[in-house]
Amino acid sequence: MRNLKSYISAAAITAMLFSAESCQKSFYTNANINPNSPKSVPNGTLLSGVEVTAAFEMGGDYSRFTGELVQQTVGYNRQNGAYEQYVFTNQDLESSWDNFYDNTMANDYQLMIQASKAGNHEYYGMGQIMMAYSLQMMVDLWGNIPYSQAFQGAGNLHPAYDVDKALYDTAVSLCWRGIRNCDPTLDKTDAVSPDPANSKYDNLNADIMYSGSGAEWIKFAHAILARLYIHQAKHSNVAMCDSALANANASFASNADNARVVFGTAASNNASWFQFDNNWGDISFYENWFSGGLTTFADSLKMESDPRLAIHMDTTLEVSGANVALVGGYYGQANSPVDLIDYAETQFIAAEATLRTTGIGASAQTYYSNGIQADMGKLGVAAGAITTFMTGSQGNILTLTAAQAIVQNAWQENVSLYLNPEAWALWRRCNWPLTPVTGAAVPRRFLYPQSELNLNGANTPNATLFTPVVFWDN
């Protein structure tokens, strides 16, 4: 009987609720609203999402693929064992392409549109600068990619591929426009702002990297410009070198300015390498599991008595067969950061630009030394160890020819770019000695994903791991 009463009561209540709501049109319309799927997303939420997803991919798949290609690491099992032997299929790059387009670039595109329409200058400028960074990275990995017709959804399911050189020009333009929009004087009149110094400040967590500082974003844009210009200086193009140097000098002044995303200790917020090493662990950082010796990178650091060796990898456990690849410190913890561009890189860019135009001299030496010390300082190397290293052969490039000095500068920049995809672009430009793991050559580009071949095949260029090369790699 008690059950029957319960059913009756429930039925009566339901009837009354329906009766009360049936007179309201909103009953039917509200039933189709998903509160977890808003019609619009705030600028701050889009910006922080773009920063985090870009950093996660930079420290994730892109880092793993390029780390093996530039021989900073060794893949020894499962898929990474195949990648180590340059066995890539179009499907292997699928998630890397999709994740960056869908989670980083598409959301950034939306941020740029809505911030522009609302006249929110700093949000717009930050979106432009992040898009410039994304274009530079994607072009360096794939060459020609969709951009001008991309992000249209059903409006254009077959976007054309833009030419890589033109996309670099677009990235340069985005940086300069972003610099103008991040001017704090423009931000003061905006309806909302990511800057806590502005009375219209709207989101505590809007800007993961710089806490809404337009001045810091301007430095970041100049760092991107320095990278874009030095990439085009492979044959000592004086104009590109001069632009690279000018922008490097206008960018970061110390490690405090680094474009960095720091991940968290909560399982859902862990850094990419920490997640990979704990879930997969088929990449070796110290021991070369094929030759029985050390990895190319570890062997070089050991020969140079580089104090960064013990920070980057575990030199005791892994060699005995345990895959304890990363030693806490900077890269291997749950809450490790990912640096998109840092102060050390801008100093090495300035050194290269100077070496290519005026040769060896005090300025090149200063930039080079600054780059090494900045990287060591970032990693927490003791001051005494830094001094010892700088007095050795690796701290001095003045006795070399300019051509040799460029390679030496590039090698030290490569060390500072440990696990950063930029290291692969650097090798393709400066070509320090790197013996292919198999075959006659190290791959110089990524394959296009299978989905593009299947769904946008008429526009997708033909490509192998070696051709066509990115326009600056000639």
What's the pLDDT score for residue 331? 85
119: amino acid identity, one letter: G
| Structure confidence by residue, pLDDT tens digits, 279-301 | 877 888 887 877 778 889 999 99
pLDDT at 317: 59
DSSP string, 350-390: HHHHHHHHT-SSHHHHHHHHHHHHHHHHHHT--HHHHHHHH
pLDDT of 323 = 47
Going by their DSSP bridges, the two strands 74-75 and 283-284 should be labelled as antiparallel
Choose among 59, 67, 94, 99: nearest CA to 83: 67
What amino acid occupies position 360? Answer: I
Q: H or E element: which one contains 75?
A: strand 74-75
Model pLDDT, residue 7: 29
Please state whether 289 falls in left (phi above 0), alpha (psi between -120 and 50) or beta. Answer: alpha
The pTM score is 0.90
**pLDDT tens figures, 410-452:** 999 999 999 999 999 999 999 999 999 999 999 999 999 999 9
Instruction: Tell me which DSSP letter residue 105 carries.
Output: I
Fold of 43-278+329-431+440-455: 1.25.40
Give the list of residues 6+ apart from residue 402 with CB closer than 8 angstroms, or none. 355, 356, 359, 360
CB 353 within 8 A of CB 242: yes
Question: Average pLDDT by consecutive 10-residue portion of the chain (474 residues)?
Answer: 32 32 38 50 95 95 95 88 94 94 96 95 97 98 98 93 98 98 86 84 88 96 98 94 98 98 92 84 80 86 93 68 53 91 98 96 96 96 95 81 94 96 97 94 98 97 98 94
**Integer Cα distance of 116 and 105 in angstroms:** 16
Rounded Cα distance between 285 and 323, Å, is: 9
Q: What pLDDT, on the 0 to 100 scale, is given for residue 244?
A: 98
Exposure letters 321-350 (e unless 16+ CB within 10 A, then b): eebbbbbeebbbbbebbbbbbbbbbbbbbb
